[in-house]
A and B are shown apart, each in its own frame.
Chain A
Amino acid sequence: MTLARPVAVPAANPMLPVPLRIHAGRRELADTFTVELEPPEEGGFPFRPGQFNMLYVFGVGEVPISISGDPARPDTLIHTVRAVGAVTERMRGLKPGDTIGVRGPFGSAWPVAEAEGDDLVFVAGGLGLAPLRPAIYHALRNRGRYGRVFVLYGARTPGDILYRRELERWRGRFDMEVAVTVDRADPSWAGNVGVVTKLVDRARFDPLHTTAFVCGPEIMMRYAVAELEKRGVAGDAVHVSMERNMKCAVGFCGHCQWGPAFICKDGPVFRYADIAAIFNIREL
């Protein structure tokens, strides 16, 4: 397997968090919130779409969270977080003015430059829309460089649609297509009910000139990739974002290994063709 190493951002000691102040916070869903941090004064916090930070809550611990903001706006640092454990629950309780320790940015990026000239298909499931959003922002900011743009999003129920207002705004544009589906709903929902793979099946992109970025639960990504292949998109034009347990994000703790890859250094974004051989191995 060829593993492409990212351009690393070296730090004198990569394990020291930089305290950044919370500028604003917002509730997104019942268990999901967004924090906006004030970056360091000089130069802001530059990052590439798809990268993540280790966010540290004083005295509690650290978690890896994808950056969800606009890469063209390094003057603000945005993370969307789901409260699932001790660290993220405590983070949810923080207020503007409080501090979060930040290490990063780490990891590989969605190859937005390589995709220029292609149709772009973003396939997102659940919270997977958060790591994709920076790439969507990039595509919209540089709209002329891409063909047709599709955002295909699946959520659990209508109440779990992340960034709903933004999706509705995007849907109103004339230069992109947005399709949303949910796994289940009650009759007050007049939109689609069904799996997100069905949206892939129905989106009119040109498979021979398409780059697809897929992000969501692993099972969903497997099925989405299969659907894209069925439509004729080549494996080297499909990219996925993987997740594993992380304790350091710099290749020292060993926890994030996935076959030969370190998710923190070789990923989290992978070209599907590079990892196809291990993608379906159980308990890897």
Chain B
Amino acid sequence: MAMAPGDTAILARADFDALVAALAADGRRVIGPTVRQAAVAYDAIAGSADMPVGLADEQGPGRYRLVEAGDGRLFGYTLAPQGWKRQLWPPLQRLFAAERDGGGFRVTDDGSAAPEPAAFLGVRACELAAVRVQDRTFDETFTDPGYVARRQAALIVGVTCARACATCFCASMGTGPGLAGGFDLALTELVDDGGHRFLVEVGSELGAAVLARVPTRAATPADEAAAARQTQAVADSQSRRMDTETARRLQEHPEHPRWAETALRCLNCGNCTQVCPTCFCTTTEDSTDIGGNRTERTRRWDSCYSIDFSYIHGGSVRTSGAARYRQWITHKLSTWHDQFGVSGCVGCGRCITWCPVGIDITEEVAAVRDSETGGTGHGSGRHA
């Protein structure tokens, strides 16, 4: 049956591997969730056997655990530590290679090699929102051809979360849990009396073409209702909220006492910047062979927390921990709007989970709001 964007169908659990095979059929590398070192990571997978079957994640400030849920779900975990940034804006990118040529030099590799086509299997709503935030960074005044090429070469199979972690707050950011466009296919995994199945929504013609190769049956109103209920329950269950209005105005508080206060806890370790799906800061490195005749320039991930991130003329501009902490949170929530027209935060909560001291970005904003309204300054972002 020829499907069109907006159409839905049901894929049985037993036929899931057929979907993976269909994704791989055009020479695509299928990248999906798998377990690495007691955490979920996105890597090349061959089928459901490689996935975190029956596992769920417990996340809290400074805490991440994978636990047995016993439900056989393929997407029962909620959020891997790192998102799709590893694929689209990799930690190490070769910018160019060059070699000496008389008194000059000549570029031998301009980094324009076409990327391998890929299928991203299991993109969460917040992750997809993050990708679209990063689109604005790398295709703005200037365009990064590598990013654009990798983005175009990736087929996106989204997945709606079946449960939220304690650290999730996508609902208050307006980025989830439902997927709102930008995908080729979207899955909602259902495990109930109707059986273990996936409601599949077609998002593009490319997605329709892939789905056409996979055995599916029509979706019933009961299937649709079950998916909608599940998704709504996820939104309702979120215990953290971001006060987006206060967040947006953080740049009006450069000297807020909260920054110095939290800086006493903050280790400036930069974990938050590594796991945040929208953080994009990089640095460049030049390396040469021993003879000095061939050189390579690479770009690698950096963090605004690193001490010489802001180095000029013999010193760094942001030397204190408070200044660097202020930079990260103010950029993420406030000045990102000025730069890209959206918030840099998608409510995934990774920064809360992976902060060794459990700094909670929603709590930080609530504290600023409370101080504005004369509150205690120790309010939390948690819904009562």
Contact = CB atoms under 8 A, between A and B. Distances in A.
A262 B320 CA distance: 21
B304 interface: yes
B280 interface: yes
Contacts of A252: 137-138, 142, 144, 280, 282
A113 interface: no
A106 B202 CA distance: 43
Contacts of B317: 244-245, 283-284
A194 interface: no
A21 B103 contact: yes
B145 A247 contact: no
Contacts of A254: 280-282, 302, 304
B251 A260 contact: yes
Interface in B321-343: 323, 327, 331, 334-335, 338-339
A262 B140 CA distance: 12
Contacts of B95: 15-16
Nearest to A84: B313
Contact of B283 (A12, A244, A247, A284): A247
Nearest to A100: B104
B319 interface: yes
B143 interface: yes
Interface string B283-311: 11010100010010101001010001111
Q: Identify which of B137, B138, B251, B334 gathers the most chain A CB atoms within 10 Å of its CB.
A: B251
Specify which of B105, B137, B138 lies most central, judged by the most chain A CB atoms within 10 Å of its CB.
B105
A204 interface: no
A244 B286 contact: no
Contacts of B145: 12-13
B318 interface: yes
Contacts of A99: 103-105
Contacts of B105: 19, 58, 99, 101
Q: How large is the interface on A (under 10, 10 to 19, 20 to 34, 35 or more residues)?
A: 35 or more
A21 B201 CA distance: 57
B141 A251 contact: yes
A251 B98 CA distance: 24
A43 interface: no
Nearest to A14: B142
Interface stretch (A59-67, A114-122, A144-152): A59-67
Contacts, number: 127
A250 B110 CA distance: 17
Interface string B132-160: 00000110111111000000000000000
B110 A13 contact: yes
B141 A5 contact: yes
B140 A245 contact: no
Contact of A247 (B138, B143, B284, B334): B284
Interface residues of B, number: 54
Contacts of B106: 19
Contacts of A257: 327, 331, 335
A58 B142 contact: no
A127 B269 CA distance: 36
A265 B141 contact: yes
B257 to A, nearest CB: 15
Contacts of A97: 103
B220 interface: no
B312 A260 contact: no
B100 interface: yes
Nearest to B317: A283
B112 interface: yes
A8 B142 contact: yes
Interface in A232-271: 243-245, 247-248, 250-255, 257, 259-260, 262, 265
Nearest to A243: B312
B107 interface: yes
B284 A248 contact: yes
A94 to B, nearest CB: 9
A260 B283 contact: no
A98 interface: yes
Contacts of A98: 103-104
A190 B145 CA distance: 57
B104 A13 contact: no
A194 B191 CA distance: 80
Contacts of B304: 254
Complex A-B, nearest 10 residue pairs according to Cβ-Cβ distance, in ascending order: A254-B281, A99-B104, A283-B323, A260-B338, A260-B335, A59-B288, A250-B142, A59-B295, A19-B104, A281-B254
Given A17-B107, A283-B318, 15 more contacts: A8-B141, A13-B111, A13-B145, A21-B104, A59-B288, A59-B295, A84-B314, A99-B103, A244-B312, A247-B284, A248-B299, A262-B339, A278-B254, A283-B317, A284-B318
25 contacts: A3-B338, A5-B141, A8-B141, A8-B142, A11-B142, A12-B145, A13-B112, A16-B110, A21-B104, A58-B98, A99-B105, A243-B312, A244-B312, A251-B141, A252-B137, A253-B299, A253-B302, A254-B282, A257-B327, A259-B335, A260-B334, A260-B335, A265-B141, A283-B319, A283-B323
Interface of B: 95-96, 98, 100, 103-107, 110-112, 137-138, 140-145, 251, 254-255, 280-284, 286, 288, 292, 295, 297, 299, 302, 304, 308-314, 317-320, 323, 327, 331, 334-335, 338-339
